Structure 1
Amino acid sequence: MADQSTEEKVVDRSLMDNLSEKLHGHHSSSSSDDDDEKPTTISSSINRLFGRQKSVHSLIGGGKAADLVLWRNKQTSASFLVGATVLWILFEGMEYPLLTFVCHVLILSLVILFIWINSAAFLKRSPPHIPEVVISEDTTRHIASELRVEVNRAFSSLHDVASGKDFKKLLLVVAVLYVLSVIGNCCDFLTVVYIGLVTLLTVPVVYEKYENQIDSVVHKVLLKLKEQYKVFDAKVLSKIPRGPLKEKKLS
């Protein structure tokens, strides 16, 4: 009996030793894997465009608007793009006035509904169900509140730019306004809106599909621009004579 108990103890110790070795090996391998993954994740986050850490879907704002822009529902996005293209062709290519178009659409819709409802009894068909559209007070308040927040945010940004608090934002706003002025000089407002819609429906989805390749190329381009700026700074900017700095008076 004593021999059996000693043998059982030896077997239990050997099993415990094997388990501990496996656990240590697993921890060491997982820690090494984590160490291998850390540089890749860090480098990938550094190489992202503008140092972003969120996905393209969340940057756009998420929700149904982001789904539309990123073609989550291809039928809806394609219908939106085709509809915008048809409207642009009507207004720009055929020079169809907007007010005339709206009036003709309303006239045609009202006439079709009137004939359909009155002929349903003779044709023994059910008349179309026309839902009653009523905008609630809560919806109006919510829209007004959201609009107020966005307008105040825009005014706050313009105030910061005009007050000279953010020079980078000033340059960005000036560049955007200048580009818009050049585009507006070349084409009218409706064409600018159509170009913006097409860009919004193409650029984000292409970037999301090839974001690794685009981020890599942009990262290399930015590195080359920084190198060129260093050379320009060493050869030109550093040689510009500057006036002597005034020494601060000791209090």
Structure 2
Amino acid sequence: MADQHKDDSLMEKVSEKINSHDSSSSSSSSDSEDEKKKPSLKAKVNRFFGKEKSVHELLGGGKLADVFLWKDKKVSAGVLSVATAIWVLFVVLEYHLLAFVCHGLMLGLVIVFLWSTASTFIKKSPPQIPQVIIPEEPVRKFASCLRVEINRGFAVLRDIASGKDLKKFLAAIAGLWAVSFVGSCFDFLTLLYTTTVLLFTVPIFYEKYQDKVDFYAEKAMVELKKQYAVFDAKVLSKIPRGPLKDKKSD
């Protein structure tokens, strides 16, 4: 009886080991399958600004994009500090621009005049005042780029107003209304400073957490498309339109 009991216990241990090995192998295989599925799920997430474009390219590339993405921390911190100082000076302290320019010129003239006068008493040649000349080529490039962007904006507005795309028209109206609402709540300098702070924070945040942002943005876009489909079915489809097809066929 004792030998039979030992054999039974031995068989039970062997069966337990086999079951545990099978469960571990099945769990490892399921883990490997999950790992295989992860990249495929990640590949299904659509980029919010396009798959092939990086954040640096979306910002136009060059030195300006480097500043917004904090590639050179000293330059980025300096630009943001100057913008903050200007906002505090003119908005928080309510200092006027014309008074600031005049006071700055007065201070500069007084310092240079006293320096030049003192140099005659100590028998030293007065310091040479640098000649400030605005170069012509950068001004022309800036004016040319500004002209191109303004013309592009007018072309977009003309295309929207032509009535070809109702979705673009509604998006433009909603965007302009949102900008006008924000502009009525803040003054221009505060709005400009807020835009500057967003340019220094949102791109670097998006570059760091791009996958998560794209995932939730895709969900939001799907929900917006559903709501637009409901709005189109209940409202837009019931708006009467002229017989454009009959006119074209005639």
TM-score range, shorter chain: 0.5 to 0.7
The aligned residue for residue 52 of structure 2 is 53
TM-score (norm 1): 0.66
Once residues 169 and 203 of structure 1 are traced to their aligned partners in structure 2, the CA distance between those partners, rounded to angstroms, is: 25
Deviations 1:153-211 (A, max 9, x none): 11111111121234333233222211111112212111111111111111111111111
Partners of 1:41 and 1:126 lie apart in 2 by: 75
One-letter identity of the residue aligned with 1:187: F
Q: Which runs of 5+ in 1 are unaligned?
A: 1-35
Cα distance per residue 1:125-155 (max 9 Å; x no partner): 9976755333344444333322221121111
Structure 1 residues 241 and 199, CA gap change in structure 2 (3 angstroms)? closer
Q: How does 1:115-194 map to 2 (within 5 A)?
A: 115-119=114-118, 131-194=130-193
TM-score, length-normalised on structure 2?
Answer: 0.66
Count the aligned residue pairs.
Answer: 207
1:79-98 aligned at under 5 Å gives the runs 79-98=78-97
The one-letter code sitting in structure 1 at the alignment partner of 2:87 is W
Q: Match of 2:175, SS?
A: helix
The amino acid of 2:107's aligned partner reads L
Q: What is the percent sequence identity of the aligned residues?
A: 48
Cα–Cα, structure 1 residues 202 and 129, in superposed 2: closer, same or farther, change >3 Å? farther
The letter for the 1-side match of 2:77 is A
Give the whole-Å Cα distance in 2 for the aligned partners of 1:178 and 1:102.
35
* Cα deviation code 1:93-137 (max 9, x no counterpart): 111111111211222223223334554677799976755333344
In the other structure, the counterpart of 2:43 is 43
Amino acid at match of 1:88: W
1:56-95 residue CA offsets vs partner (Å, 9 max, x unmatched): 1011101111111111111111111121112111212111
Aligned to 1:107: 106
- The C-alpha deviation readout for 1:5-60, integer Å capped at 9, x for no partner, is xxxxxxxxxxxxxxxxxxxxxxxxxxxxxxx9xx859926x521143421010111
* Gap regions ≥5 residues in structure 2: 1-35
Change (3 A) 1:125 1:53: farther
Aligned twin of 1:65: 64
Whole-Å Cα distance in 2 between the matches of residues 228 and 137 of structure 1?
Answer: 53
Residue type at the aligned position of 2:110 = V
